[in-house]
Structure 1
């Protein structure tokens, strides 16, 4: 295949990915709005009794949706790149949500806390590597 055809195929895939990211962003925004609605609705209904677990589940779901929206915004603003660090933050948030909502098994909670520790260490190492890599002269970056 010629290089010109490969560039066309690549551009086509980039276009498809952009369209799906836009659709995904709209779906996530709709779920974010729904979770905000579910949080605000009990404030105006005086007779309903909301369980703390349900409220915390809705709050943490809203944070997850918000993080995904920020990642999608960063995807479009950073020339179609998603940073590895964003995935780590989403993973930490999802695990924290799981711990706060489903904390009935002590061993499972302890394992999830260990997973958070590993992810936090990964974030620290990643940031340290990024700052060290950014301090190198351009000739050492391979440019």
Structure 2
């Protein structure tokens, strides 16, 4: 009886600790999202001839990654500490697409990232097909 109570106390402490870290992580992600949007706005309004498209692409895709993480954290709190696995797959695909668009100087790396994206897309399709049925 006493052991069960101790386990319950530890479980609650662990749950509250994770929630606190998720809240802090969410605020940090929102800060990075704000910085990315600010960088995009500054690049748009202070146009100089030396801006490279890869810099804009990096910033846009970083903003998308931050946005996806913010959505995952929001869903964490909405769904009572449960995160949909499909969201992790979307983040992985976005990160790999960012890598391909920004660092495309190595053909073998680009091809391997394309194969990885294909595998993740198949995983998303299979996840939707089989998990949503249950």
TM-score w.r.t. length of structure 1 = 0.89
TM-superposed deviation, 1:106? 1.1
CA distance in 1, matches of 2:48, 2:131: 53
Partner of 1:49: 50
Instruction: Give the total of aligned pairs.
Output: 133
Partner of 1:96: 97
Larger radius of gyration: 1
Partner of 2:7: 6
| Runs of at least 4 residues off by over 4 Å | none
TM-score w.r.t. length of structure 2 = 0.95
Q: Which runs of 5+ in 2 are unaligned?
A: none
SS for the counterpart of 2:70 is helix
Give the 3 Å change call, closer, same or farther, for CA 46–109 of structure 1 in structure 2: closer
Pairs within 5 Å for 1:4-83: 4-47=5-48, 49-83=50-84
SS for the counterpart of 1:132 is coil
Q: Which runs of 5+ in 1 are unaligned?
A: 134-143
